[in-house]
Amino acid sequence: MLVRLLSLLSGLICLQVLAQNAQLSGVVRNKDTQETLPNASIRLLSATTQYGVVTDFDGLYTIAVPPDRYELICTYVGLTEQRMELSLGANEVRTLDFNLVENDALLDPVVITGSKFEQKLSEQTVSMEVIKPALVDNINSTSADQTIQKVPGVVVVDQQANIRGGSGFSYGAGSRVLLLMDDLPILTADLGFPRWDFLPIENLEQIEIIKGASSALYGSAAMNGIINMRTAYPKSEPVTKIALFNNIYQNPRNNQVIHYSPDGTPTDTVQKSWWGNEQPYERGATFAHRQRYGQFDLVMGSYLYDKKSFRATEFERRGRANVNMRYRFKNVPGLSIGLNSNYQAVASGTFLIWNGIDEKAYQIWGLNDTIENRTYLLTVDPFIEYFNAATEVKQKLVMRYYQNNNHTTQNRTTLSDLYYGEYQFQKRFSKADMVVTAGLVTSAAFVEAELYTGGNHKFRNFGGYVQADKKIMQRMNVSIGARYEHNRIDTLASEAKPVLRAGMNYELTRATFIRASYGEAYRFPSISEKFLNTYVGSGGAGFSIGVFPNPELRSETGWSAELGIKQGFKVSEWKGFGDVAVFISEYNNMMEFSFGTPASPIGNYPGIGYKSLNVGDTRIWGIDCSVVGQGSLLGMPTNILAGYTYVDPTYRTFDSLQRSQSTADYNVLKYRNRHIAKIDAETTIHKLTVGLSYQYLSFMEAIDIAFNLAMPGVKTYREQHDGGTSVWGARLSYIANKSFSMSFICNNLTNLEYAISPVKIEAPRNFTLRLNYNFDYSEKKNANTKG
């Protein structure tokens, strides 16, 4: 009886306290755009304690606190915080709205990839770069990798991304950089290959690039870093954009090639431009639309592209359409469901290896007919998300179905299906200034293809991760995370690995941030690296290139660490960041594609081709510097993205076998550029925007020696081009009004003949005309307001 009386008395006291509580509610907006801000933080600090809440999807908040005098702080990542003093009385109900302004002191975008929640770029514990959609449009990127190529420290070779020398050359299989689309993996199920052209760049919010091992949060394939393309959602005002473009290629430099007899007498003259008077071209059209209909968000986009390449037998025609839908429940604040889908059909012709140098550099080696591919790609991504503003808990269930259906003229069909699911739980502790993120992940891949040893294959993955991010004394961010992952192909022995990461970021002075990080890495072989057994070519002696299986291929592990400093600056109205990082990575049983002659050739075809091997234990260290700035410089809007990267890639043990397989007789990893320098700058003068780009790649010191021995012209070309490669570009845009603009772009301004891949020449000078039209909804809005 006494216990029941005490319990009843306690309940009455609680009810009395709650009855005396004051209630504060309102909405948080961006003052400039009037967009509501989800996940904005509201904190009330009294003399003895503090209370906090975050806004929901619609920027709304409600909080009940005891009557007292408080300091109220409203913050949102990337915007200037608001502070005020207020007193709340017993049972008082007050509405208080906030309009936050842009932080004018620094260029500090908001990113998600590093910790799976919104943070300032300056507060990251790892090196990260951010690309905005303006750069995609300004350089007329027809595929996302062309934009990635602008990022300091990143080189894309034959569609494989290499960050800070962490990857070599890979012939269409296996990736050491994890590609994400809206935070979900988008590598093909069998090849582990990035399809850059499949990413909907017409509806881009931003691209986030993490440099260094990121396996703790994202798992296998994030060995060398992450590239995350985040699509944009609609805001208060609709967006509709249309663009048309046409590109034309010029003839190569020194187009006339004179052949001589043994005694030095000219015999004939031929041209490198095999196309005669029918110049190679690219042309296309893009469409993007984003709009809110009450609680319903709709994103649509499409892309049409047609290319006749400067390389013989190479062409591409593709069409893509994407739809993203999200519904935010009004009666259940914080709950949203959605479905994203992307579809693409591609017809293409393959160019593998040149037929030699001079006029043969633009001709394909050893093929009588064009290898044509028909590829159909599809993703379907349902999701559900719930955010409880009162408890500051966010739960998310996301799924992805990714199908890659490929047919070739050589009757080699591949059908791969990827099923991916992830449950994520995130809790924010406002009083402790900490966020804990945990998740469970599973994926399964099913591959049907005759070109794989053993026929069809299946892959399964299970994993779990947890990470804590804590801010200490408002100046230091500390991040600690771990992941446990289990992988299995078919009925082979399964494998499980734990990986850890830790990092810190300390704001030494205003706009000066010092960071240090350590991350472990793990990569499990893809199905293609283990079992792909095929050839490309006509099948005659000397006219085929094989891709050979390696069922004994082992997974690789490693770690990377860095120490960096990021310095913000502001010169008048021009602001940005300078960043310097010293990094080191070590890998055990590093997997890389190698070119040579295996012991067992494919059938009766010659044994020349590629095979994925464990090349040994490696170490890569270096320095990575970058500068990004934007704003008004000397009264003119000016944007700059620039950087320099130095890498020293070596084997930890360099033996006679490795020496015999490389063109270099000293210790250096193959297919790396030791020095990389890049700059992209543009400035606007009245209605004209002028841009200039530059890229320098030092000589690729080592490649597989089999290229010199077996492939025509490789040894001679490398001897003739043993210095660095400098490529310039320029662009000019005319902005007629808010809706219409026109751009003229010149790539390879000096018409340099160069090769990034050892057996594939790059594009000669080419010109692009691009027309952009953006529908102006503000006029319609103003007309409706007046009416």
784 compared with 189, residue with greater pLDDT: 189
What pLDDT was estimated at residue 367? 58
**Banded pLDDT at 539 (limits 50, 70, 90):** very low
- For residues 60, 61, 62, 64, the Cα torsion angle rounded to the nearest 10 degrees is -170
Burial class (CB in 10 A: 0-12, 13-18, 19+), 686: exposed
By percentage, how much of the chain surpasses pLDDT 70? 92
Report the residue count for the chain.
787
pLDDT at 1 over 70: no
pLDDT tens string 674-700: 999 999 999 999 899 999 999 999 999
Q: Which two tokens stand for residue 367?
A: 């093929």
- For residues 667, 673, 677, 679, the Cα torsion angle rounded to the nearest 10 degrees is -160
pLDDT tens string 496-516: 999 999 999 999 988 899 999
pLDDT at 600 over 60: no
Three-state secondary structure call for residue 491: coil
Average pLDDT, rounded, for the chain: 87
By percentage, how much of the chain surpasses pLDDT 90? 50
pLDDT tens string 247-286: 999 999 888 888 888 887 888 888 889 998 899 999 999 9
434 compared with 594, residue with greater pLDDT: 434
The position carrying tokens 């994925």 is 612
Q: What is the 3-state secondary structure (H, E, C) of 231-249?
A: ECCCCCCCEEEEEEEEEEE
**DSSP for 734-782, written as a single string:** EE-SSSEEEEEEEESTT-----SSTT------EEEEEEEEE--HHHHHH
What pLDDT was estimated at residue 147? 93
**Banded pLDDT at 540 (limits 50, 70, 90):** very low
What pLDDT was estimated at residue 784? 54
For the entire predicted model, the pTM comes to 0.89
Among 317, 247, 318, 320, which residue's Cα sits nearest to residue 287? 320
- The mean per-residue pLDDT over the stretch 333-346 comes to 94
The position carrying tokens 């990413």 is 199
What pLDDT was estimated at residue 4? 55
Angle at 629 between CA 626 and CA 631, to 5 degrees: 175
Kind and range of the H or E run holding 14: helix 2-20
Among 215, 166, 211, 224, which residue's Cα sits nearest to residue 498? 215
What is the Cα gyration radius of the chain? 28
Distance between CA atoms of residues 17 and 24, nearest Å: 16
Among 560, 615, 618, which residue's Cα sits nearest to residue 170? 615
- The mean per-residue pLDDT over the stretch 50-56 comes to 82
What pLDDT was estimated at residue 612? 86
Distance between CA atoms of residues 607 and 99, nearest Å: 68
Whether the Cβ atoms of residue 59 and residue 28 lie closer than 8 Å to each other: yes
Q: For the sheet with 68-75, list strands across it.
A: 50-54, 41-45, 68-75, 82-88
pLDDT tens string 381-410: 999 999 887 788 999 999 999 999 998 876
What pLDDT was estimated at residue 542? 47
pLDDT tens string 578-597: 999 999 999 999 988 888 76
pLDDT at 245 over 60: yes
**Banded pLDDT at 777 (limits 50, 70, 90):** confident
Q: What is the 3-state secondary structure (H, E, C) of 372-385?
A: EEEEEEEEEEEEEE
What pLDDT was estimated at residue 49? 80
Rounded to whole angstroms, what are the CA distances from 204 to 228, 298, 506, 535, 635? 11, 14, 31, 37, 29
Among 533, 611, 673, 529, which residue's Cα sits nearest to residue 193? 529
pLDDT tens string 292-321: 998 999 999 999 999 999 998 899 999 999
115 compared with 466, residue with greater pLDDT: 466
What pLDDT was estimated at residue 537? 59
Q: In sequence order, which ranges of 552-637 are alpha helices (DSSP H)? A: none
- The mean per-residue pLDDT over the stretch 420-429 comes to 94
pLDDT tens string 346-382: 999 888 788 888 888 888 876 555 678 899 999 999 9
19-28, 228-237, 277-286, 364-373 — which one is most confidently predicted on average? 277-286
Distance between CA atoms of residues 238 and 407, nearest Å: 39
Mean pLDDT check: name the lowest of 111-120, 491-500, 590-599.
590-599
78 compared with 668, residue with greater pLDDT: 668
